[in-house]
Amino acid sequence: MPYKIISIRIDGELVTAREGETILEAARANGKQVPTLCYLKGLSAVGACRVCMVELAGTDRLFPACTTPIQEGMSIRTASAKLALYRRMAIELLLVERNHTCSACVSNGHCELQSLAQSLGITHVRYAYNNPHLPVDMSHPRFVLDHNRCILCTRCVRACAELEGASVWAVASRSIYSHIVSDLNDEWGNAHNCTGCGKCVQACPTGALAEKGFAVHEMVKQSDAVTRLAAQRAGSSR
């Protein structure tokens, strides 16, 4: 079915986009950089991290680019002092919520949270650290779950459900007690649904999910492989 093409403005530039696309998709298709964390191309978008917020003309509210559909005549701003401040705050709040000790993390140097913090010039945080005492689940024969590094982006939950069809992961509890659980809140090693495919590990943007046997700095994720797999699946189901 042919797509309807609509006109929008992004950072003052008049561009065209397909009806039904999100602001993020339209922006990226037109070469605009919008930072993201919980979004991973190929998985459903949930708007959890609020890092991709953009400004829309005519309202003071900020909108998540990954879940907001474009509309004819929309005028979008992807970069401003206000957005930089807001994105910085969102990352700082993630950093203080758990224990992101990069120097002792398996994903140090290959972490999307760390990269975003660096690109936003975050050298310190302005909020009190929660310093929660969180467990590390080593029960799986091949993988590790370190709750201390988890930012609850749910990319693992979606990769497992939408690509592997196993639905091992879910989020339990609320607020600062929210945490990822496998199967019915059993240890990962006891999760009967887990196929050991590792898609959740590759989708994870931080060191929360990692393969065993990797030391500090060694875990390099292949999140683009998850995206490629999703594209193949989408192509074969047409």
Strand partners, 136: 146
Find all residues with CB under 8 Å of 5, minimum gap 6, and list them: 16, 17, 18, 19
Instruction: State the minimum distance, in angstroms, from the CB of residue 49 to ligand FES.
Output: 3
Contact 169, 156 (CB under 8 A): yes
Stretch that binds ligand FES, among 11-19, 49-57, 73-81, 184-192 (CB under 6 A): 49-57
Does 99 help bind ligand FES (rule: CB under 6 A)?
Answer: no
Does 64 help bind ligand FES (rule: CB under 6 A)?
Answer: yes
CA end-to-end span of the chain, whole Å? 12
Tokens representing 227 are 């995206």
Among 25, 43, 50, 219, binds ligand FES (CB under 6 A): 50
Stretch that binds ligand FES, among 35-43, 100-108, 177-185, 217-225 (CB under 6 A): 35-43
Nearer to ligand FES, 59 or 237 (CB): 59
Contact 168, 193 (CB under 8 A): yes
Tokens representing 37 are 């964390």
Among 28, 29, 47, 120, binds ligand FES (CB under 6 A): 47
Binding footprint of ligand FES, residue count (CB under 6 A)? 12
Among 26, 27, 51, 117, binds ligand FES (CB under 6 A): 51
Residue type, 5: I
Stretch that binds ligand FES, among 4-12, 44-52, 174-182, 210-218 (CB under 6 A): 44-52
At 13, give phi and psi (nearest 5°): -90, 130
Does 52 help bind ligand FES (rule: CB under 6 A)?
Answer: yes
Tokens representing 43 are 């998985």
Instruction: State the minimum distance, in angstroms, from the CB of residue 42 to ligand FES.
Output: 14
Does 205 help bind ligand FES (rule: CB under 6 A)?
Answer: no
Nearer to ligand FES, 46 or 197 (CB): 46
Find all residues with CB under 8 Å of 8, minimum gap 6, and list them: 14, 15, 16, 17, 26, 70, 71, 72, 73, 74, 75, 76
Nearer to ligand FES, 153 or 201 (CB): 153
Does 37 help bind ligand FES (rule: CB under 6 A)?
Answer: yes
Nearer to ligand FES, 37 or 102 (CB): 37
CA atoms within 13 A on the CB side of 153: 32
